[in-house]
Amino acid sequence: MDLARRGARVIMACRDRKRAEAAIQEIIQETGNSQVIFMQLDLASLKSVRSFADKFLQSESRLDLLINNAGLMSGGKTEDGFGMIFGVNHLGHFLLTVLLLDRLKASGPSRVVTVASVAHEMGKVDFNLLTTQKELGIGNGDYQLFQRYCHSKLCNVLFTYELAKRLQGTEVTCYSLHPGAIKTEIGRYSGFWWKLIMTPIIFLFFVDADSGAQTTLHCALEEGIEHLSGHYFTQCAPLLNIKSKARDDAVAKKLWELSESFCGLS
């Protein structure tokens, strides 16, 4: 909504056409900007990611801003056999970004913004489990799924950290961020007890989507933050005392290389 209001051409890369088109109509009505376009993208399918990238590159001559914003906390497997949380929250975004990098470079100065979470502080990357199970954790209880969500958010932060290194010397910068605790439908598939505990907490303490979008918009639009490429932001400011595991060069590099392998890029 905010980007459309500023006159941007906005590509809504969404899984559910019906919900996407309803959102697009609302945005067009609210902003008067008709340059808001739906393109099919299911991050739980690497084939869909490739198809989206092909279609985008054929139809769009520029890419100034890529916002990796999808996130879920549900069990099961992706089309390619990865854990759903790892596959959608990290791997789909990874492949999407890599496939669009040349267009981002050609459009520079441009940015990649990846929505992570403060939950990354509770995350870890178990490479043995990833290599053998294609999964960040085991068990399908609500708490185990939440743990995997935390692990996936650490992957988002490490991905951004490594991406910034690989983009040095280009006009593409990248940022990860904590958007705040926001009232969204991320928990709509959660179990009964999780909903029972979380519903009153969400009602009392979580912010609306407008407030929750502000740090994303800051990373996307704020001038003069190019030297902070690779950093993690919270409340529209870089977090300078971030935990060392979010700045682990060896883990970030290994995660990148494993992701390339999983996506068939290496």
**Which 8-state DSSP code applies to residue 81?**
S
Contacts of 196 (CB under 8 A, 6+ apart): none
Q: Which residues are catalytic?
A: 149
Beta-ladder partners of 177: 115, 233
Long-range contacts of 24-29 (CB under 8 A, 24+ apart): 27/1, 28/4
Contacts 24+ apart (CB under 8 A), 31-36: 31/1, 31/4, 31/5, 33/4, 33/5, 33/7, 33/8, 35/4, 35/8, 35/9, 35/10, 36/4, 36/9, 36/10, 36/12
